[in-house]
């Protein structure tokens, strides 16, 4: 049985249709890379999965939980969000909280974990990303790479069914990209299910086992990295990949 199934997801902003009926099915342990040109709806799709964007219609099934986007209640939203975690492009750390508190916040107030247990867990996650000594630092005192690794620790601490990554490396200095990619790769090896919107084709090739190509609000292609990235059949994908490779 699929872990996550999204059917016929549609979304428009002010009469402009951004997602035109997207379907997706992923299994436990999948690492799905979503690629495609800017404005194709990748990020909107990602944010629809945990309802940071409210789709107009479609259905979502996560394990045994099912919801209809057109009539979703606040309680259903909360339930889904508490099984999914997210890592943001601009890190989106809570600037009024320390590194440690950034991680405990969701555990204490989103998952009803006791403060002691949450602190213990947060320390473990900070150690895992090598930032235990920065636990009392505020985001403004940390580098972009450090902030993003805390963003990842904040997500993994929640033991989510799925982690959503919205272009996790695109705001980073080129020399910091590697460490963040390593962290995500480590998660993949541990069997963490992830959906990653990215512009880094090398990253998709290295970490993902499935690749989705988005174009104009539709899934143009869905398959293994080899099929999509190495032997693309679609002319549009060939053109996109060659345009990207010229820049890198």
Footprint of another protein on this chain (CB under 8 A)? 47, 50, 52, 74, 78, 81-82, 84-86, 88, 90, 92-97, 105-106, 109-111, 138, 140, 154, 158
Count of CB atoms within 10 A of residue 35's CB? 27
> Least distance from C-beta 94 to another protein, angstroms?
5
Angle CA(188)–CA(194)–CA(196) in degrees, nearest 5?
Answer: 105
Q: Which CB sits closer to another protein, 56 or 105?
A: 105
Q: Which CB sits closer to another protein, 34 or 164?
A: 164
Q: Which CB sits closer to another protein, 74 or 174?
A: 74
Residue 227 DSSP one-character state: I
> Least distance from C-beta 193 to another protein, angstroms?
16
> Least distance from C-beta 122 to another protein, angstroms?
12
Q: Write out the two tokens for 137.
A: 């630092």
Q: Which CB sits closer to another protein, 41 or 232?
A: 41
Residue 58's SS3 state is strand
Residue 198 DSSP one-character state: -
- Cα–Cα nearest to 88, from 129, 46, 124, 119: 46
> Least distance from C-beta 3 to another protein, angstroms?
18
Q: Which CB sits closer to another protein, 88 or 240?
A: 88
DSSP H helices in the chain: 42-49, 74-81, 99-111, 115-128, 144-156, 174-189, 201-207, 225, 235-247
- Cα–Cα nearest to 107, from 91, 89, 90, 120: 120
> Least distance from C-beta 110 to another protein, angstroms?
2
**Cα–Cα distance, 233 to 231 (Å, whole number):** 6
Measured torsion, CA atoms of residues 195, 200, 203, 204, in degrees rounded to the nearest 10? 50
Q: Which CB sits closer to another protein, 102 or 213?
A: 102
> Least distance from C-beta 159 to another protein, angstroms?
12
């Amino acid at each position: 049985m699929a872990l996550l199934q999204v059917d016929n997801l549609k979304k428009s902003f002010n009469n402009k249709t951004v997602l035109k009926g997207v379907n997706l099915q992923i299994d436990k342990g999948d690492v799905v890379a979503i690629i495609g040109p800017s404005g194709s709806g990748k990020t909107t799709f990602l944010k629809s999965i945990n309802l940071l964007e409210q789709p107009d219609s479609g259905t979502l099934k996560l394990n045994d939980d099912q919801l209809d986007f057109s009539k979703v209640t606040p309680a259903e939203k909360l339930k889904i969000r508490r099984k999914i975690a997210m890592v943001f492009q601009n890190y989106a750390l809570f600037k009024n909280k320390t590194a440690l508190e950034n991680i405990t916040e969701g555990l204490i107030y989103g998952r009803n974990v006791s403060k002691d247990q949450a602190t213990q867990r947060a320390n473990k996650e900070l150690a895992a990303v090598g930032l235990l000594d920065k636990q009392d630092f505020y985001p403004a005192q940390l580098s972009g790479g450090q902030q993003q690794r805390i963003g990842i620790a904040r997500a993994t601490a929640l033991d989510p069914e799925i982690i959503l990554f919205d272009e996790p490396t695109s705001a980073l200095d080129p020399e910091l990209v590697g460490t963040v990619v390593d962290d995500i790769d480590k998660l993949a090896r541990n069997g963490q299910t992830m959906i990653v919107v990215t512009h880094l084709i090398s990253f998709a090739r290295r970490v993902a086992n499935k690749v989705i190509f988005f174009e104009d609000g539709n899934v143009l292609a869905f398959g293994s990295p080899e099929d999509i990235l190495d032997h693309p059949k679609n002319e549009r994908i060939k053109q996109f990949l060659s345009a990207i490779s010229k820049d890198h």
